[in-house]
Structure 1
């Protein structure tokens, strides 16, 4: 066997072995992924075609060559169909079964025409050995159907290329690289077929088998380097990228498989180079988020983005294959900032009195109970002031309820001016108010009450041109609480403050009285 032929046969065998390797790899690793099944079939058909052609070149007679040529044609007509189906599935589309079956009509006719060629010569006009070759090479003169088959192959490959190229515009860097490699691989058989049909190849050797394997080298590179079938199809990428939620996909080992643009707000280090890296390697500076992802439990998370506090709800969804085995997880970051702020606003509204915007009675008592619990644990003191507006009924009867509301707001605002941060001011009911003063001595509480009393009595409210002045009466009580003492509460001190208030009213109003 001439050295040149032996070298070419070796190249063809290596190409066939590569196709077979990619077929087995896809079968074992990615059989359930979009486009994987056509990929498995097309690489298997390519290996059959390639090995058969190697045996054809090794043949020493025309009869042997024709035998292996027929074996080749059991695989060759179907290769362009499965290439097209692979590209269609890859972009996330499905075609109706009737159209899928229709794609196989020409391949089956091609096989029939090829096997019955001796009866009609529609496929090959003539078949014989070349006279200008140093080794047996068949010379084929194509008939009408041979060119139909060639045109069909060309159209399938071109449609596949067009389908892929249409996705370039709206695709990410990763998908653009995949598409570019797939398109480059698909162009190679077209060039090889052009050389072969036009008699430009050396001794008329068919370049198709090697070109097909080079195609799968490109596809294999996309498969292994860019994880071609381990991410969502291109057609789904539009939905994936337009999701408001940040989404990141991890495999079983915690390696990053994919992410959308929204995730980069949360993890700015994400880029195309982080695909295949461990998620924990990107979170070394964010221990809280790393702990949440390690626990794999739904959780709330707050972070600062461009100086604004953003609230997320992190959700975990396992990903299973068709055998119901876990193969990874999807982590979603739903921006719930608006909801959190709305809940805080509603909580605030629920805790405030609608007219005065100070604590309502229910929330005042709840906050005071928390205060007393802290004092019972640590020890301390507390003073309580209760006060109301003197002769308030006369204000309503004389000037109307609108004026009464204005007076209540004026008194509340005056009290708010003089209480400290940490003190609690609430509207106890109607025209009555209450104040909790943690760690405040009785004389200090008395002085505060007297200042508020004086300021209210000196001020004048004006409503609809009417000038209204009012006074207030105050009752003050106090308790010292030792650590562990549970004998005092807001409920035990309020009656004492109320008794002191009653004493102030009995004493002529517009004054402060104490019951300790």
Structure 2
């Protein structure tokens, strides 16, 4: 029996030395190991546990054995929590600070219980020296807290195993050797502890410290052969689910295979029951139309507008192919990126650059740009084009009498009335102050006069109402027509302005067309 104990002590000591090596390795390579701090603490705890157990076995008196038992429990209960944390970090998951602290409450109580057991006997009911062995060994009768600590340790080891096993199918084959090493490192002590509690181990000795020699050797082998912990493969689903962009995965038949959490937030109408259905059919049921993106093309980027919680949002859609090892297309990734704020800012800048802030129609600058396009088109197609300038009569009087707020309402009222008679082909803009300009592609001078008269009558017959007061609004119009190559936009607007001035000379609320006599 004595030689067997010596061999046992040697194996336990070897386990401790191997854990010292692992602890030092993780310290010196801490810059390369993402979980170096946890791994150092984990191997240090195992080192304290195994060294303490080896010295306890070599002790001669019960008091010495009890002392080294306390030393053991400075490492053993904490190693279970640290091992679980290490496996959680390895799979790319995190725990909150409170949850992490909570994992060390029971081990801390256990250490206190072991150190003070002589006063309460809650961890060991009784401790004595065995008389049936050639060398003195300590035997125990377990107490209530021993059961609590045992259940806690077993739970940590079991949870760590289940977490790692759950990542197996999401881990690339090249990293499965690492994963198997970690699973084994949790499984061996869990099974050994269970066998020990059943009293099935030779001589009633705890097999866990000896088996730590095997698990530590496996760690060293995995570190040297596959760079365990230095290159940590994060599980696919951790990356997939943590992405801020929404991602859809379609197979080669354009059937929905998977989607991530971000996509659920972007398109809350998506349901798990839709997986396996064709994406075109799904989108038809969601939006009532075909998917507005040609997702069968590689590298396509386009914008998609969607109603989310009563608001219009804009997603940039990007597509890419999914290839197998043979470089064959086996699916399509559709990525949705929320660019609502960016598009909103762009729209604001566009409004400021192109549109009048008060009336929301084109401003003078944009009219000049588009007016030149209309004129160039007229020159190329040999078609006429009419231009109308008009302003609100006695606008200063309205401002002076009712205030500038009412003056603004008058301008908005004029635009509202005019828009009833203008189609999408007609260019309408605020030219400045109370003055407006209209461009009519393909229209003759007579067409321009007719529209101007229609607008004049509409404004005359539709006064502005402000707080029950009717304010009569009239306008004066000047019309000019493009008729030859020599005409430019500037010259045509000057002609229309001369005609407008003639309307004012003739009492306002009138329409005049430009003629050579007004030049």
TM-score (norm 2): 0.52
CA shift for structure 1 position 262:
0.3
d(CA) in 2 for partners of 1:240, 1:313:
18
Q: 1:415 aligns with which of 409, 415, 418?
A: 418
CA shift for structure 1 position 75:
3.0
Give yes or no for contact 1:449–1:512 (8 Å, CA) kept in 2: yes
Query: What does residue 445 of structure 1 align with?
Result: 448
Give yes or no for contact 2:16–2:46 (8 Å, CA) kept in 1: no
Q: Name the SS of the counterpart of 1:509 in structure 2.
A: coil
- Unpaired runs of 5+ residues, structure 1, are 1-60, 129-138, 251-257, 275-284, 317-329
d(CA) in 2 for partners of 1:287, 1:193:
59
Residues 1:382 and 2:385 aligned together: yes
**1:317-396 matches, cutoff 5 A:** 334-345=337-348, 347-348=350-351, 351-372=354-375, 380-396=383-399
Q: 2:427 aligns with which of 415, 424, 428?
A: 424
Residues 1:162 and 2:156 aligned together: yes
Q: Name the SS of the counterpart of 2:459 in structure 1.
A: helix
Which stretch has the larger CA shift, 435-444 or 406-415? 406-415
Residues 1:195 and 2:195 aligned together: yes
Q: 2:14 aligns with which of 71, 74, 77?
A: 74
d(CA) in 1 for partners of 2:139, 2:377:
93
Give yes or no for contact 2:361–2:429 (8 Å, CA) kept in 1: yes
Residues 1:469 and 2:472 aligned together: yes
Query: What does residue 107 of structure 1 align with?
Result: 50
Q: Name the SS of the counterpart of 2:362 in structure 1.
A: coil
- Count of residues in correspondence between the two structures: 379
Distance 1:198 1:232, change over 3 A: closer
TM-score (norm 1): 0.52
Give yes or no for contact 1:300–1:311 (8 Å, CA) kept in 2: no
d(CA) in 1 for partners of 2:165, 2:39:
31
CA shift for structure 1 position 458:
3.3
Distance 1:104 1:176, change over 3 A: same
d(CA) in 1 for partners of 2:196, 2:372:
92
d(CA) in 2 for partners of 1:287, 1:186:
49
Give yes or no for contact 2:313–2:340 (8 Å, CA) kept in 1: yes
CA shift for structure 1 position 388:
1.8
CA shift for structure 1 position 435:
0.7
Query: What does residue 304 of structure 2 align with?
Result: 302
Give yes or no for contact 2:13–2:50 (8 Å, CA) kept in 1: no
Alignment root-mean-square deviation, CA: 6.3
Cα offsets for 1:143-201 (capped at 9, x unmatched): 249999xx99x979954843884999xx99966999xx988984664344443575536
CA shift for structure 1 position 434:
0.7
Cα offsets for 1:6-52 (capped at 9, x unmatched): xxxxxxxxxxxxxxxxxxxxxxxxxxxxxxxxxxxxxxxxxxxxxxx
Distance 1:109 1:204, change over 3 A: closer
Query: What does residue 56 of structure 1 align with?
Result: none
d(CA) in 2 for partners of 1:286, 1:354:
32
Cα offsets for 1:34-84 (capped at 9, x unmatched): xxxxxxxxxxxxxxxxxxxxxxxxxxx99799669835751378679989x
Q: 1:478 aligns with which of 481, 486, 491?
A: 481
d(CA) in 2 for partners of 1:441, 1:173:
81
Query: What does residue 231 of structure 1 align with?
Result: 234
d(CA) in 1 for partners of 2:44, 2:16:
17
Cα offsets for 1:239-266 (capped at 9, x unmatched): 99677x226699xxxxxxx985104566
**1:110-259 matches, cutoff 5 A:** 110-111=53-54, 143-144=137-138, 158-159=152-153, 161-162=155-156, 165=159, 186=186, 189-195=189-195, 200=200, 229-231=232-234, 245-246=244-245
Q: Name the SS of the counterpart of 1:447 in structure 2.
A: helix
Distance 1:140 1:453, change over 3 A: farther
Distance 1:164 1:106, change over 3 A: closer
Distance 1:164 1:302, change over 3 A: farther
Give yes or no for contact 2:19–2:46 (8 Å, CA) kept in 1: no
